[in-house]
Each structure stands twice: as structure tokens, then as C-alpha cells.
Structure 1
Amino acid sequence: MENPQHSLSADKARSPLKVNPKYNYYILLSIVFGGFLIFGLSENIKGPAIPIIQNEFSLSQSQIGILLALNSFGYLLACSFTSALSNRIGIKRTGILAFLSMALAGFVIYASSNYASLSASFFLLYIGNGVLEIGLGIMAARIFTRNTGFMMNLSHFFYGLSSTVAPTIAASLMGWNIFGGEMGWRGMYLFVLLLSLLPIVPSLLGKFPEETHEEDAKTTSYNTLLRDPVAWLIVAVLSFGVVSELAVGSWLVQFLVKAYSWNIKDASRMLSMFFLFFMLARLVLGTVTDKIGFTLSIIIASAFSGICSLSAILLGEKGAILFAISGVGIALIYPTVMALLAKRFPKGTGTAITFTVTLMGIASVIGNLIIGFIIDLVSRMFKSETGAANEILGLQVGYGFIGFLAFLCSVSSIFLYIILKKKKELI
């Protein structure tokens, strides 16, 4: 934080309370770290739930893809207005609104009785997730002005921490007996999403930094970003990387259950291992990104993830551990890109993040649709020996596409590296 006293000036004008700047800084850290913990839980409990939801509602793989795409669309919608919302009502109220909407989504998911209501409830959840992530990203960019790569990775480490335990917790909670019956996926979602009410307490106590002249920065930045090839390459890097990352959380359990006949708990443990490697990479390798450079870090990390994912498919069940190890590479992409944006666009950072993440959201919608349709298309085109749809081959090709996206992220990063090096603007 550059100057805690200065960052609080806008809030002092609105509140007569005086807060020790150092104490306030720790409150803000608790909100950022706690917010990422909640975000990781809400995002990654779906892995163990999806096979059960699919069976209960008799959904095809394409319908699952559409459900996940609607999630991404809700996230995309949130990205489009969060920066303006935070400028209008303040980052504090924006964060509180996100936490409240996520808790509300828990009740709506619990009441879902068909595919339409389930889709609507997940859509609401991801609007809350989108508002939360953009808000946390803006706040982190304003606070972490030194050792940016490490601090961004550290804050996202908490996302990885909760993501690591999320699948196992979800699988366990669904089996709990409450009031004479199993909690199931509905009760599990309600229980977990009610935890999003906890960060509201420090949010009410903290004084949030405000970016000065945000409106001017917004107008200038959007015009600049639209004409800047570097900005578009950053969008490509983030889109390919994040779609690959999120797809693992959505499809890995499904793949292991359908392709290798694993049970939900074992498949969930493998997803948890993916997030364990994911979490440790952000904790241990965050300093590396500051030392060797953000762009080079992304090139190496995304290529490593792609190699692990494709190798896991080629080796079959005995290579399943490579699905988890791929988390080492994919973990560094999002926070490193956020660090890159914070350094390249120090004025109007919120606008740069909104521009980049909104376009990434579009890619997420398309990516989830493509993966679901690839699985169904390949399954139907290449029948098994019994004449039935070859779902295993479809899942292999679909998951192969996830690994291919990681390679595309690396290739895009190479082009970004070349352009920045020519401009002598490598960060």
C-alpha cells in the first residue's frame, strides 16, 4: 500500500470515524484474502455436484455445457457493470452487495426443481461471483504497488486454498444426514454460500481506498485499450488461460467418473489435488514472476500445464496424477496477468481490469459451450462396439481441448513477449 493515510482520504470525507491506517490495512487484507477464500469455495464445489445434477435432471453433456456457459454469462454481465457500480456506490457497498447476492443464490439453488430454475439460480450466483472478483481485483491493484507479482499471487493463493478443499468438502457435505435425510447437492450449496455473509463484518469496519479521477481515467483508458494491440493480446492470454483453468474445475470430476469409472469421492480428491498444486504454486512461485518477468512466467507456466493435461490423456488412467500436476502451471496465469495490468496501466487500473476480464468472460461462455458440444459430437460420431455413443472418447477429446487452450495461452504470451520486447516495455 503506497500510503494508507492518503488512500483513506475519500472515506474520511464520508465518515467521522478515525481508523488507524495500519489497522485498516490489515482489515483490507482480511477482506481481500477472505473474499478469495469464499470465491474459491463457491466456484469449485460444483465439480462433485455436476454428475449428480446431471443424473437427477437427465441432462446431456451439451446441456451441462449450456449450464456452465450461462454461469459464465452471468459472470460476464457482472464484469460489464462492476467498475461503474463501484464508482457510483463505492467499493465497500459493491463488495457487500456481492456477498449478499451469493448468499441469496444459495437459497434459490436449494429451491431449484428443474433445469430452468437451476440455470437461473446458477446465473444469479455467478453475477455475485463476478462482482466480487472484479471488486477484489480493483482493490488489490490499488493496495499492492510493491512486489506486485508476489502479492497478487499471494491473494489468489487463498482462492487456491479454498479451491483445494472445496471438492472434498462438497462431496462430504452431500452425504451428511440432517433431519432424517441426506443434505444432497442443494443443501451443500446453501450451507457453503451462507459462509459468504462472514466477510461482510470486516467490510463494514474497513475504510476502502478510492481511485482518484476514475471517470477521466475510464474515458481515456477505454479509447486507448481498444486501439492497443498489447491490450488485446493480454485479453487472449487471460482468456485461453482462465477458460482452461475453470474447465478443469467443471469437467475433471465428470471425466474421471465417466471415463475411468471412479466414484465421486475419489474423483473429487483428484480435483482437490489439482487445487493443492494450484495453491502451492501461487504461494511458492509468486516471487519467481517478479524475478524473471510476468510475460515469460506465463509462457512457461501455460506450456507446462498444456503438456501435463495432454500427457495425462495419452497415458490413460495411470497418468491421472498429471491432471493434478497441471495446476502448477495454470495457477500463475490469472494473478500474473492482473499484476501485468496493474503495472502497465497504473492509472485507470479498474478500467483495464474490467475491459480485460469482460472480454475474458465472453471467451468463457464460448469455451464452455464448445467443450460440451465437442464431447457430445465426438461421442455420437464415433460409436462404441455396441453401437452406443462413445462417451469416453468424447470426454477424452473434450478434455484434450482444455489442454490445447493452455498451449494457445502460451503461444499468445510469446507474441505478447515479442511486442513488449520490441517496445522495450517488458515488465
Structure 2
Amino acid sequence: MQSTAPAPAVSSTKTVWLLTAAGFFSFFIFGFVDNLKGATLSSLLADLEFSYAQGGSILFAAYLGFFIATLVAGVLADSLGNRMILILAGGLISAGIIAFAGANGFWLLFAAMLVIGLGMGAIEVSGNGLIVQLHQLNRGRYLNLLATFHGIGALIVPLYAGRLLDGGVSWRQVFQYSLPLAVLLTLAFVLTSAPAQSAPKSAESAGFDWQAVGKLGFTRQMIWFYLAIAFYVGAELGIAAWIVEFLQQSKGFSLTGATGFLSLFFGMIMLGRVAGSLVVERIGYLRSVLGAAAGGLLCLLIGIFGPPALAFFIPLCGLFFSVIFPTITAVVSDVNREKTNSILGLLFAAGGVGGALGPWAIGVVSNAVGIGWGFALCALYCALIIGAVLALNGTKTTGNFDGNLDNG
């Protein structure tokens, strides 16, 4: 089926690469702020005498905000452009960090984290949308590189937070010291030219067409994509939020050792995404995601249920996790050439649901039966990714994606 969408306008080479660099920087900030929560969670719980369930609820707030933003940001980006949404994202994260660092009560922390989540959701939608807009060819490669910068931010933050916390610095100051990065994000897009726009759209196509989005976004195939990405985000963020506590309580690690493993987890994700940007187009999208989920599941089972000496398998799973999210994003953007930002918004909203419920469920289960079994939910999420990808096998597709595993 041939797309009737207007051909994209061409930006100057300089504008394309400046915006690409700014987009990569937005994902660096996203990875840094997103994983600041997990790196400081143990200190926050001890300082405020909160339970695991309360800690899980604060994490839930971030992804409630993320979910709301992904629904709204895709629609706004189709009208206002991805650059304007990314400027707004920097402002939301800045305001949320200021409020979170100064809050004492549970509900104030919840509300501040929700605002941070709104900013992260806006980056998720419009950061990906910007790269899709700028790079029509080899989307899988550029989206994997974009996600690599999320991994770099996530890799740095445990080292940053762990060193400060070990030195007696409050978790509040750890958040405060990260504020300049969020401000710089806003400035990066304020000072960068907007990309060239496609030919003007009709009033009908420019608005939010529920019928068109419903037809494109709620097919049987898309439902399986939503489930796969929800379970993946639940697994990745569940590890990011709870690995430090799990390793300290179940494996006898020190705070420094546990935060080091969190950093290693994101280091593996970063390395995997660099490699993934070179191979996913050759291996095939479904095969890449299926193999990655299976490898991640095996690593988690060994690391969680094995002796402490094998705990390194937990961060090693990041090597396999690395390609799942950007590869699914590449597939969905490729098969939905119309209303792309709105469809990506729905996809990332599904990821937001997984990000909200996955870590929250770990907190609730940990409160009931212990952190060991709670953390094991991450392995269950991996198994559910595999089920969703297998269900995608043979579904009808358009574009460059072949839904048959035999053909990659």
C-alpha cells in the first residue's frame, strides 16, 4: 500500500546535524534524570522512613506523568513541532527537580515526580519523532544511536550519585546538582533552528483525527507492539529502580558495589545499542527483539536465583535489552507513515504504563514477600516480551518490516 502522506521537506545539512546533536543530548538528559530515581531511592527511603510500597508509588508517579505526556505530546508535536515540545520538556524537568529536592511529604514528592515524568514523556515522544523526521533512511540505526545517549546518561548517573551519597551528600543535593543539565536542555533547542516542515496539511489532517489514529493505532498488530514495549519498559525500569536495593538486601553488596552494578547495567545497554545500530537492519527486526528478550531472560534468571558470585549476570542483561526499545520504535514508525507522532505517542504511552506499573508492582510484591521475589518480576516481564513478539509473527504489515520471523 502506497502512503499518501506528503513528502518530507529537506532541511539544510547543518540544521539536520545540529538538531540531531540536540536530540541526542535530550536523550542523555532523559537517561540521567530517569535513573537518578533508582540511584537515590535507598537513601530517600532511609531518610524519610518510607516503605517499599511508598517508594514504588513515587516511582509510579514518574511514569504516570510519562504516560500522560506521551498521549498529549504526540498530538501537540504533530501541530507545534518536535522542537517546541522538547523546549517544554526541559522546563518541566527543571521545575520538577526543584520541587522534588525541596519536598518532605509523600504527596509533594509524588506530585514533583509526576512533573518530572511529564518532561521525560515529552522527550521520549519528540526526541524519537525528531530523529524520525530528520533521518528518513536507516531509521533503526539512528534510533539505536539516539537510545545510546540515554544509556550514556544512565551509565553516568549511578557513579555520580553513588560517589556523592558515599561522601555524605544528601539525596536532595544530588537532585539539585543535576538542575543545570535540565536548563541546558531547554537552551539547546531555543538556540537551534526549527527543522523544515512538510507541505501544509489540510485542517482535517493537521488536527487529531480519532478515526484515522484509531484505524492505524489499534490494529491487532499494534496491540502486540504495545504489550511488548510495556513489558520491556517495566523490565528495564524495574531493574534500574530496584537493583541497588536488591543487591544490598539479597546479595550482601555494599552501596558502592550495588550502584556500580547499576552503572554497569546501563554501560551494557550503551554498548549494545552501538552494536545494535550496525546489525539490526541485517538480522531483521523481529529476530533482533526476540533474541534480545531471550538473552535478557536467561541472564536475569542466573543473576537473581544464582549465588552472589553470579550476580553480574543481572547487569549483563543490559547488553541484550539494548536493542529492544529502539528497534520496536523503528518498526512502528516505518509501518505508520501517517500520523507518525500520534502513533508513536500511543506506543510510548504503552511504555509509560509498563514503566509505571512494573517498578510499582516490584515494590508491592517486595513489601509482601521480600525484595528477592519482587525483583524476580523483571524475569517474568522478559518472558512476556517473548510471548508478545511470537504473537507478532506473521501479522500483516506494510513498509520495510516483515512480520515473519523466518524472513527477519
Task: Give TM-score, length-normalised by structure 1.
Answer: 0.87
Q: 1:133 corresponds to which residue? A: 124
Q: 2:180 corresponds to which residue? A: 194
Q: 1:334 corresponds to which residue? A: 325
Question: For residues 5 and 420 of structure 1, do their structure 2 counterparts lie closer, same or farther at Cα, with a shift above 3 Å needed?
Answer: closer
- State how 1:32-51 maps to structure 2 within 5 Å: 32-51=23-42
Gaps of 5+ in 1: 9-20, 177-181, 379-393
One of 206, 216, 224 as aligned partner of 2:215: 224
- State how 1:34-73 maps to structure 2 within 5 Å: 34-73=25-64
One of 108, 113, 132 as aligned partner of 2:99: 108
- 1 CA distance for matches of 2:116 and 2:218? 33
Deviation of 1:287 (Å)? 2.1
Q: 1:409 corresponds to which residue? A: 385
- 2 CA distance for matches of 1:226 and 1:365? 21
- 1 CA distance for matches of 2:375 and 2:153? 24
1:320 is the counterpart of 2:296: no
1:365 is the counterpart of 2:356: yes
1:99 is the counterpart of 2:86: no
Q: 1:273 corresponds to which residue? A: 264
Cα displacement string for residues 14-41 of structure 1 (whole angstroms, at most 9, x for unaligned residues)? xxxxxxx111111111111100111110
Question: For residues 355 and 262 of structure 1, do their structure 2 counterparts lie closer, same or farther at Cα, with a shift above 3 Å needed?
Answer: same
One of 190, 193, 196 as aligned partner of 1:206: 193
- 2 CA distance for matches of 1:405 and 1:419? 22
Check conservation: 1:141, 1:342, Cα contact below 8 A: yes
- Shifted more, 349-358 versus 199-208: the winner is 199-208
Q: 2:232 corresponds to which residue? A: 241
Question: For residues 5 and 290 of structure 1, do their structure 2 counterparts lie closer, same or farther at Cα, with a shift above 3 Å needed?
Answer: closer
SS at match of 1:44: helix
- 1 CA distance for matches of 2:250 and 2:278? 38
Question: For residues 395 and 148 of structure 1, do their structure 2 counterparts lie closer, same or farther at Cα, with a shift above 3 Å needed?
Answer: same
Q: 1:6 corresponds to which residue? A: 9
Check conservation: 2:39, 2:162, Cα contact below 8 A: yes
Check conservation: 1:222, 1:355, Cα contact below 8 A: no
- 2 CA distance for matches of 1:211 and 1:340? 22
Cα displacement string for residues 268-319 of structure 1 (whole angstroms, at most 9, x for unaligned residues)? 0001111111100000122221111111110000111011001111212111
**One-letter code of the match for 1:407?**
A
**One-letter code of the match for 1:194?**
P
One of 167, 173, 185 as aligned partner of 2:171: 185
1:307 is the counterpart of 2:298: yes
Cα displacement string for residues 62-96 of structure 1 (whole angstroms, at most 9, x for unaligned residues)? 11111111211111111121122224443222211
Deviation of 1:129 (Å)? 0.9
Deviation of 1:5 (Å)? 9.1
Q: 2:3 corresponds to which residue? A: none
SS at match of 1:198: helix
- Shifted more, 304-313 versus 193-202: the winner is 193-202
Check conservation: 1:4, 1:25, Cα contact below 8 A: no
1:400 is the counterpart of 2:376: yes
Deviation of 1:418 (Å)? 3.0
**One-letter code of the match for 1:368?**
P
Question: For residues 218 and 283 of structure 1, do their structure 2 counterparts lie closer, same or farther at Cα, with a shift above 3 Å needed?
Answer: farther
Check conservation: 1:106, 1:193, Cα contact below 8 A: yes
Check conservation: 1:142, 1:209, Cα contact below 8 A: no
Question: For residues 370 and 202 of structure 1, do their structure 2 counterparts lie closer, same or farther at Cα, with a shift above 3 Å needed?
Answer: closer
Cα displacement string for residues 356-402 of structure 1 (whole angstroms, at most 9, x for unaligned residues)? 11133223322233221211222xxxxxxxxxxxxxxx222112111
- 2 CA distance for matches of 1:131 and 1:306? 30
Deviation of 1:421 (Å)? 8.3
- 1 CA distance for matches of 2:131 and 2:397? 27
Deviation of 1:147 (Å)? 1.5
- 2 CA distance for matches of 1:313 and 1:117? 34
Deviation of 1:220 (Å)? 4.9
Check conservation: 1:240, 1:408, Cα contact below 8 A: yes
**One-letter code of the match for 1:398?**
G
Q: 1:83 corresponds to which residue? A: 74
Check conservation: 1:73, 1:362, Cα contact below 8 A: yes
Q: 1:255 corresponds to which residue? A: 246
Check conservation: 2:335, 2:398, Cα contact below 8 A: no
**One-letter code of the match for 2:271?**
L
Check conservation: 2:233, 2:354, Cα contact below 8 A: no
SS at match of 1:347: coil
Deviation of 1:150 (Å)? 1.3
Deviation of 1:60 (Å)? 1.4
**One-letter code of the match for 1:413?**
V
Q: 1:355 corresponds to which residue? A: 346
Check conservation: 2:276, 2:322, Cα contact below 8 A: no
- 2 CA distance for matches of 1:420 and 1:288? 24
Which of the two has higher C-alpha Rg?
A: 1
**One-letter code of the match for 2:9?**
H
SS at match of 1:261: coil
